[in-house]
Amino acid sequence: MSRPRIVIVGAGFAGYRAARTLSRMSRGKADITLLNPTDYFLYLPLLPQVAVGLLEPRRAAVSLAGALRHVRLVLGEADGIDLDGRTVRYTDPEGGEGTLAYDRLVLAVGSVNKLLPIPGVTEHAHGFRGLPEALYLRDHVTRQIELAGADDDPETCTDRCTFVVVGAGYTGTEVAAHGKMFTDSLVRRHPPRRGIRPRWLLLDIAPRVLPELDERLSATADRVLRRRGVEVRMGTSVQEATHEGVLLTDGEFVRSRTLVWCVGVRPDPLVENTGQPLERGRLVVDPFLQVPGRPEVFACGDAAAVPDLDKPGRCTPMTAQHAWRQGKAAAVNVAASLGVGERRPYRHRDLGFVVDLGGAQAAADPFGVPLSGPVAGAVTRAYHLAAMPGNRVRVAADWLLDAVLPRQSVQLGLVRSWSVPLDTASPELARVPGGPEPQARTTAASGPAARTDAGRGGSHPAPGPVKADDIPAEGDS
């Protein structure tokens, strides 16, 4: 009798945890395949530290091959699911196409940057969902400060030293907090003319920073940001983005060369084409994470609308904490469907939240106890070390080095602006010149209901027109 074939699509928090748990539970009695565009699991909470040079990029990336020894890794992006035929079509990094057959399917494709119909945002803003975007932002911010230090025009210098972050949730708050500290350190080495200082603006239409968290954590973060010099503007967002800057909803035009888009996430577009019921773009599942009418298909993480059993009528929020635990629950229920163990409904009690504000500052509420200052900073770093599935010693070493040595600030020139478009369905991949051209692919579904679509970023179109930002500063290597 052949072994059951389990295919997991996506290696984010949910997919990685599902693969690791199934690998341990199956004990070699099932063929487990993990389909993912990259060969690493990205620990997203540390991405802001990568963007400011505090952590080396590989510290936030855990090798899938090294951590999941009994799981077959297939590099590629899923761009078609035939639910009747029980197959997943994918495109590999070199443009080749392949098909994976399954007996059980776990969809853990995650989320991508949330887009809003605001003129100019898609063309001039950059998101913050993957390593390429973090590396681009680090180079871009460094370049702006270095160019400002050599510029004789005070207006241009001010433009380069102004950074706008939209979205005061977890990501936007941490990017602004770390970014202000980073640019302050840069200007000490490359001081702009006429005493111009870096200016960071954090915008959100919400009434307060971190609106999804307890008001005490919100107040702590707001206080740290303002004390550090970040301009926190609540009830304000972007009305239009241009090459010269952004027009705010309050009528002010802010001249800037940097617009970081952190307004939130949306489910991966792949689930839209499965032909199955959706809830605000997320695939509807039951409390056991199974797709109704498709008992062989499970979904978890940001792309799944998982019922919150503690709040009837609502779904669990799209957070890493839920995705991590749903991945384990999905694995347990997949194993139960194959006769190993018993299935369990997903239920989770929040253990608290941590928000890293840079330096020794943080906001945290472990087990509901609100903390701030260095104590919260220590709790936050301890939490991340405990939660990471690998690289703990290397991360701790980088933190130690940052505490005793000056931070390195150089442009690596690895990622250009056209490589990380805001509207990509694959923020984990940078577009490369000469990559495969986009082409229509079969995407969803079941038999005759299958449609065609451009896929989920499975191709890498050649770059568009080169922007000024793509040209290295004089003397750059």
Strand partners, 307: 315
Q: Taking the mean position of all CA atoms in its chain, how far away is CA 331?
A: 23
Tens digits of residue pLDDT in 371-406: 999 999 999 999 999 999 999 999 999 999 999 988
- pLDDT (mean) for 142-163: 92
Give the length of the chain.
Answer: 477
Residues in Cβ contact with 400 at an 8 Å cutoff, skipping those fewer than 6 apart: none
Report the share of the chain in percent with pLDDT over 90: 72
453: pLDDT confidence band, cut at 50, 70 and 90? very low
CA–CA distance, 114 with 111 (Å, rounded to integer): 9
Q: What is the CA radius of gyration of the chain?
A: 22
Could you write out the DSSP letters of every residue in 350-369? ----EEE-STT-EEE-GGG-
Which has the higher per-residue pLDDT, 351 or 36?
36
Report the pLDDT value the prediction gives residue 467, as an integer from 0 to 100. Answer: 39
Report the pLDDT value the prediction gives residue 455, as an integer from 0 to 100. Answer: 32
Strand partners, 315: 307
Angle value at C-alpha 272, between 22 and 300, nearest 5 degrees: 25
Q: Which of 388, 422, 438 is nearest to 95 (CA)?
A: 438
Report the pLDDT value the prediction gives residue 436, as an integer from 0 to 100. Answer: 54
Strand partners, 112: 266
CA–CA distance, 169 with 227 (Å, rounded to integer): 19
CA–CA distance, 4 with 247 (Å, rounded to integer): 56
pTM score, two decimals?
A: 0.87
Which has the higher per-residue pLDDT, 38 or 473?
38
CA–CA distance, 437 with 405 (Å, rounded to integer): 45
Q: Which of 60, 66, 71, 73 is nearest to 22 (CA)?
A: 71
352: pLDDT confidence band, cut at 50, 70 and 90? confident
Least confident of 172-186, 252-266, 290-304, 342-356: 342-356
Tens digits of residue pLDDT in 158-177: 999 999 999 999 999 999 99
Report the pLDDT value the prediction gives residue 407, as an integer from 0 to 100. Answer: 85
The torsion angles phi and psi of 163, rounded to 5 degrees, stand at: -125, 130
Sign of the alpha-carbon dihedral angle for 315, 319, 322, 324: positive
CB atoms within 10 A of CB 216: 13
472 residue type, one letter: P
CA–CA distance, 23 with 265 (Å, rounded to integer): 29
Is residue 179 over pLDDT 50? yes
CA–CA distance, 161 with 192 (Å, rounded to integer): 9
CA–CA distance, 328 with 319 (Å, rounded to integer): 15
CA–CA distance, 256 with 243 (Å, rounded to integer): 8
Q: How far is CA 241 from CA 256, 304, 465, in A?
A: 10, 32, 18
What is the token pair recorded at 178?
């770390």
Report the pLDDT value the prediction gives residue 150, as an integer from 0 to 100. Answer: 85
